[in-house]
Amino acid sequence: MAYLLELKKVTKRFGGLVAVNRVDFTLEPGRIVSIIGPNGAGKTTLFNLITGIYKPDEGEILFEGRSLVGLRPDQITAQGISRTFQNIRLFGNMTVMENILVGMHTRFRASPVDILIQTPRFRREEQQLREEALQLIRFVGLRASPDELAKNLPYGEQRKVELARALAARPKLILLDEPTAGMNPQETAETTRLIRRLRDELGITVILIEHQMRVVMGISERVTVLDYGEKIAEGTPEEVRRNPRVIEAYLGRGVAIGAIA
């Protein structure tokens, strides 16, 4: 089966620290997979490598068979990879609608000339994409008005705007960095359902970084565990849960031995 995303021996060092160490990772289209690991394991660094914020020191990253290494983040987004951020990074002084329209940046075709003389093409495109933004707002279940400034929204709503903004580019692959961080159980359940719908209804492949095991175990088809930048385990949630190295990484050696015994 052709992989949507393929990482081959990807390594990233910051000075003496090896943040990501020879990680291999493959992903078929249509999956929901999770990356877990203790704090500082290199999960977010891995996202930053895929989205082009960092350049890998070694290794290869292929998306639909084409290398992403050396492309700028905006070029990678244009290839069909969107992301959200661990600490929400909305454009605070822009409205919900504007945030989503910025997310659609790669899809605007109107030229500056179209903009200046407001050709029908410009108006039509603007109109269409605004309508689509409204649909996205409904899709993620946002209750706030589209004209609200993003920074005035409550936390959970901001997460939804960020998701809608990432969806706006019509990605093939979406990277969600701790989408349920700071949420109560009810919001977490809602978000979990939403993530499943991304795949089931929109056909988007999903990679999650997640700390809440309930979410990870509930929706991932495959879990990859990182520790100190290395991939220490991979498999179904059930396999990973029983893997002694994983238990050790999370809970310490003593506990791990106890658990096996």
Partner 1 sequence: MLRAKTMEWVTQIRNGRSIYLVGVLGYIVAALLLMNWLSQPGLRDAVWYPLVSALAFAAFLGSLLVIYYAPLAGAVKAILGLAILLVLLPILGVRNTFLLEVATQVGIFAAMALGLNIVVGFAGLLDLGYVAFYAVGAYLWAIFGSPQANIAFGTNRFPLEPEWFFLFLFLAVGVAALTGILLGLPVLRLRGDYLAIVTLAFGEVIRVIVNNLDKPINLTNGPQGIRPVQRPPLFFKPWLSALGIRLDDPTLYALYFYFLVLLVIGFAIWLARRLENSWVGRAWTAIREDELAAQAMGIPLVRMKLAAFATGASFAGAMGMIFAAKQYFINPESFTFMESIGVLVMVIVGGMGSIPGAIVGATVVTILNLQVLKGLSLMLNKLRQAGVVIPIINFPLSQWPTQLEPAKYERLVFGILLILMMILRPQGLIPERRHRMELAEALGREERAEPEQLPVEEELPPVIPAPEVRPTRD
Quick check: 221 binds partner 1 (CB under 8 A)? yes
Q: Cα–Cα distance between 74 and 58 in angstroms, integer?
A: 21
Q: Which helix (H) or strand (E) holds 96?
A: helix 96-103
Decide: is 149 part of the binding site for partner 1 (CB under 8 A). yes
Classified as helix, coil or strand, 231 is strand
Question: 64 vs 126, which CB is nearer to partner 1?
Answer: 126
Of 202 and 213, the one with the shorter C-beta distance to partner 1 is: 202
Q: Does 218 contact partner 1 by CB under 8 A? A: no
CB of 159 to partner 1, least distance (A): 14
**Single residue of 15, 65, 66, 147 touching partner 1 by CB under 8 A:** 147
Shortest distance (Å) from residue 205 CB to partner 1: 8
Q: Could you tell me the two tokens for 156?
A: 């959970």
Q: Report, in Å, the least distance between residue 199 CB and partner 1.
A: 7
Among 15, 16, 65, 112, binds partner 1 (CB under 8 A): 112
Asked if 235 interacts with partner 1 (CB under 8 A), we say: no
* Residue 127 in the binding site for partner 1 (CB under 8 A): no
157 to 149, 187, 200, 257: CA distances (angstroms): 12, 10, 22, 43
Residue 149 CA: distances (Å) to CA of 2, 38, 99, 132, 158: 42, 35, 9, 19, 10
Residues 18, 181, 189, 202: which binds partner 1 (CB under 8 A)? 202
Q: Among 67, 127, 152, 184, which residue sits at the site for partner 1 (rule: CB under 8 A)? A: 152
Return the number of the residue (202 or 232) whose C-beta is nearest partner 1: 202
Structure tokens at 1: 């089966």
Segment near partner 1 (CB under 8 A); pick from 18-26, 56-64, 194-202, 253-261: 194-202
CA dist., res. 176 & res. 156, Å (int) = 15
Positive or negative CA dihedral for 82, 77, 38, 33? positive
Residue 240 binds partner 1 (CB under 8 A): no
In what order do the strands lie in the sheet containing 58-63? 17-27, 5-14, 58-63, 66-67
Is residue 148 at the binding interface for partner 1, with CB under 8 A as the rule? yes
For residues 235 and 222, the answer to whether their CB atoms sit within 8 Å is yes
Taking contact as CB under 8 A, which single stretch among the options 15-23, 35-43, 89-97, 250-258 is the one that binds partner 1? Answer: 89-97
CA-to-CA dists, residue 99 to 19, 32, 47, 122, angstroms? 32, 26, 22, 19
Q: Which residues are at the interface with partner 1 (CB under 8 A)? A: 28-32, 51, 53, 72-75, 77-78, 82-83, 85, 89-95, 98, 101-106, 108, 110, 112, 115-116, 118, 122, 126, 131-132, 135-139, 141-149, 152, 165, 169-170, 199-205, 221, 236
